[in-house]
Amino acid sequence: MVEAVAQATKDGLVFVFDRDKGTPLFPVKEIPVPVIPALPGEKPWPTQPIPVKPAPFSNQVLTKDDITTRTPEAHKYVLDRFINSRHGSKYLLPSTKGTLFYGFGGGAEWGGAAADPNGILYVNANNMLWWLQMRPTKAENPFSATKGTTLFNINCAGCHGANGKGGQGAGAQAYPVLTNLGRRLSRKQISTILETGRGRMPSFAHISVDDRKAIVDFLLDPNIKKTNRAANANDIHNSAPGVVTAKNASYLYLPPYLNNGYTQFRDPDNYPAVKPPWGTLNAIDLNTGEYLWKVRLGEYPELTKQGIPPTGTENHGGPVVTAGGLLFIAATYDEKIRAFDSRTGKIVWEYKLPAGGFATPITYMVNGKQYIAIAAGGTRYGLKPGGYYVAFTLK
Ligand code: HEC
């Protein structure tokens, strides 16, 4: 038997390698991808490495056929954006026109996958649409930008949106808007969040104290006196993008383009903009590269009531599989934790948590009794927050 390691990606692909040699167990081929240039100076690479097996576990290329038909109005709204944007492959280069694609939060998520010793991989997945648009920064005149604004736009705008005005489009509300921050947080509180991180907000302890102070100054007073201007145009040209220490004066460098943050594109009623399934759970036999089963994960109760088969929902949080043949996962909008029969994908039990369970459950044993526990923290997708650990016993 070959010992294997497998990686399920945000792209919805599974790469399986021989654990000792590092060689792929299923060939990985260089597949041609669109090379339509989008921004000046780009030289897109013509191929991407894609495994021939297993088949992708989430949608790959957006087509007109995928657009939601939930209501005629929703269809028209999404079709309009589809027609007026770049769309299709997730490997399209970001452009100023804007791209509608399956990307960012598609495929596998931070919860990871579960596996059992006979080589079955269980992975939950999302089919969400995202809207990525680049905007030139020229208009923002780097000579008048403060060190704080520039550092903010380089380090923080990817999540919080340009100047903190919010990165998420309609929907998930995952990243707080940071305007008028002074009304709810003190300088000390903001500095602490930057130093330690909080929840899914990463720590920025690697940025110098001075740079962090400049960012906090900007957040507390965006109109702060314009100091620390770029010395001359050469400084701007000579700094490398993505380098963020004050030491090499890179705050003088404003990249030529910035993106619009981590923005989902949803229909006007805030449902996903494509046809279901919106969330799935997959069992893949890594010995053969074939799917054992694929089911929808989660539902919108109000849609189910209208007679629409469960759609699956966007999901964050992974599965855990037991030797007894049960797979436990929460992760969905409907705030439920479910147990699936790991051989068939049939739901055998479900329970409504006190708040969304966007974490991976654990299993443990005390005095011969097996337990499943999950952190139900809620908050994602604009759902209510929670602060619970919930444990169940297995009989
Ligand atoms: C990877 C995405 C990401 C990046 C990058 C990021 N943040 Fe955050 N930020 C978050 C999330 C998510 C939260 C909410 C955290 C929570 O739920 O406790 C947050 C919360 C905050 C808060 C608290 C807001 C409130 O209303 O309580 C502040 C302040 C903040 N971020 C500032 C920054 C600054 C300044 C930067 C850049 C140095 C930054 N963030 C970069 C994701 C990010």
Q: DSSP secondary structure string, 306-352?
A: TT-------B-S--EE-TTSEEEE--BTT-EEEEEETTT--EEEEEE
Euclidean distance between CA atoms 248 and 151, whole angstroms? 13
381 pLDDT more than 80: no
- Considering only CA atoms, which residue is closest to atom 2 of ligand 1? 159
227 pLDDT more than 70: no
Tell me the average pLDDT across 323-336: 96
Can you give the pLDDT at residue 22? 94
What is the residue-averaged pLDDT of the chain? 86
- Considering only CA atoms, which residue is closest to atom 7 of ligand 1? 201
Can you give the pLDDT at residue 177? 82
What phi and psi values does residue 205 have, to the nearest 5 degrees?
Answer: -65, -20
- Considering only CA atoms, which residue is closest to atom 34 of ligand 1? 156
Region of poorest pLDDT, from 200-209, 235-244, 274-283, 330-339: 235-244
Can you give the pLDDT at residue 256? 81
Tell me the average pLDDT across 231-237: 32
- Around Cβ 166, how many Cβ atoms within 10 Å? 18
Question: Per the structure block, which two tokens stand in for 118?
Answer: 């006979």
Tell me the average pLDDT across 129-135: 92
Can you give the pLDDT at residue 39? 92
Q: What is the 3-state secondary structure (H, E, C) of 88-117?
A: CCCCCCCCCCCEEEECCCCECCCCCCEEEC
Can you give the pLDDT at residue 172? 44
Can you give the pLDDT at residue 233? 32
What CATH number belongs to 134-259?
A: 1.10.760.10
- Considering only CA atoms, which residue is closest to atom 16 of ligand 1? 199
Euclidean distance between CA atoms 268 and 286, whole angstroms? 40
Query: Could you tell me the residue ranges of all domains in the chain?
Result: 134-259
238 pLDDT more than 60: no
Atom of ligand 1 at shortest distance to CA of 200? 12
Distance 160 CA to ligand 1 centre (A): 7
Q: What is the pLDDT of residues 186-214, one digit of tens each?
A: 999 999 999 999 988 889 999 999 999 98
Atom of ligand 1 at shortest distance to CA of 190? 29
**Identity at 144, one-letter amino acid code:** S
Q: Which residues of 110-145 are buried (b: 16+ CB within 10 A; e: fewer)?
A: ebbbbbeeebbbbbbbbbbbbbbbbeebeebebeeb
Helices (H) and strands (E) in the chain, counts: 7, 20
Tell me the average pLDDT across 232-261: 48
Q: What is the pLDDT of residues 249-300, one digit of tens each?
A: 334 456 788 888 778 899 999 999 999 999 999 999 999 999 999 999 999 9
Can you give the pLDDT at residue 140? 55
Residues with CB under 6 A from ligand 1: 155-156, 158-160, 174-176, 178, 181, 184-185, 190, 193-194, 198-202, 204, 215
Q: pLDDT class for 361, splitting at 50, 70, 90?
A: very high
Tell me the average pLDDT across 34-42: 89
Q: pLDDT class for 166, splitting at 50, 70, 90?
A: low
Can you give the pLDDT at residue 153? 80
Can you give the pLDDT at residue 284? 98
Can you give the pLDDT at residue 145? 63
Atom of ligand 1 at shortest distance to CA of 215? 35
141 pLDDT more than 70: no
- Considering only CA atoms, which residue is closest to atom 31 of ligand 1? 201
